[in-house]
Amino acid sequence: MRTDPATLLKNLEPSLPTGILGLYLCGSAARGAQGPHSDLDLLAVLQESITHQERRQLVACLLTLSGWSGHAEHFPEAANRQPLEFTAVVRGDVVDWPYPPRLDFQFGEWLRSELMAGAVLESQPEPDLVAFIADACQNHVTLFGEPLYALLDPPPAELVRLACREGAPGLLQELPGDERNALLTLARMVTTLETGEIVPKDQAAHGLAAQLPPEDGSLMEAAAAEYLGQSVVDWPAHRDRVESLAQRLVSAICR
């Protein structure tokens, strides 16, 4: 079920931390190009770090608003809700773009088991934040607060390239069970290194597929089609091909 941003904001507002400077809709939703499997990405820019109590309150709220179809077995109450990804940064932690930048708070459905068990996620260094904010600076919708450009400068291009190279190998660990997203993320990293732009995942996959041998290109096209809800892929049936392609893409990104 798709989440309406205005309704989401109304439900979130009572649980948002004090000192929030702005909240922004990012990613495919901001581009108007969400696939049926897409998260709804939110970025919050803060004046100061979220307190322990605010973290608990925000997590409790997000657990009731977010969900994922893959939770049908273990968390059936959340299976019919759209997944939300909520990322928060303290403005002072990223204003001069140290590397790796510091993530103050993050919520995503991959964390549901830990969060339901009472985990409280604290501030931590996060290289992936570079590409996320670079994309947000290019494509976002202000839900409330100051314009994003008034709070943050885009990360330097060399930092985006470094984050791609350092982040790519970790995607090999995520490949089993998340083949589509891993391949699409690698395709976008390749495109970013070649062009300096962060483009939608399906666009990156189509562009890369045209440069690959036919067998590899067909895998990329299959990932893009599934992302857009046009097909369902039996990824375990293509395990060896997927692993081989992913490893070669990581090598190309890291060279």
**Distance from C-alpha of 87 to C-alpha of 77, rounded to nearest angstrom:** 23
Report how many helices (DSSP H) and strands (DSSP E) the chain contains, helices first. Answer: 12, 7
Sequence-ordered alpha helix ranges (H) in 79-237: 91-94, 112-116, 129-138, 148-151, 157-174, 179-195, 201-209, 214-227
**Distance from C-alpha of 219 to C-alpha of 232, rounded to nearest angstrom:** 12
Count the neighbouring beta carbons within 10 Å of the beta carbon of residue 246: 21
3-state secondary structure of 95: coil
Active site residue 85: yes
Give the active site residue among 54, 85, 109, 226: 85
Question: Residue 122 is encoded by which pair of tokens?
Answer: 């604290």
**Distance from C-alpha of 216 to C-alpha of 13, rounded to nearest angstrom:** 45
Cis peptide before 156 (omega within 30 of 0): no
**Distance from C-alpha of 189 to C-alpha of 87, rounded to nearest angstrom:** 20
Task: Just list the catalytic residues.
Answer: 85
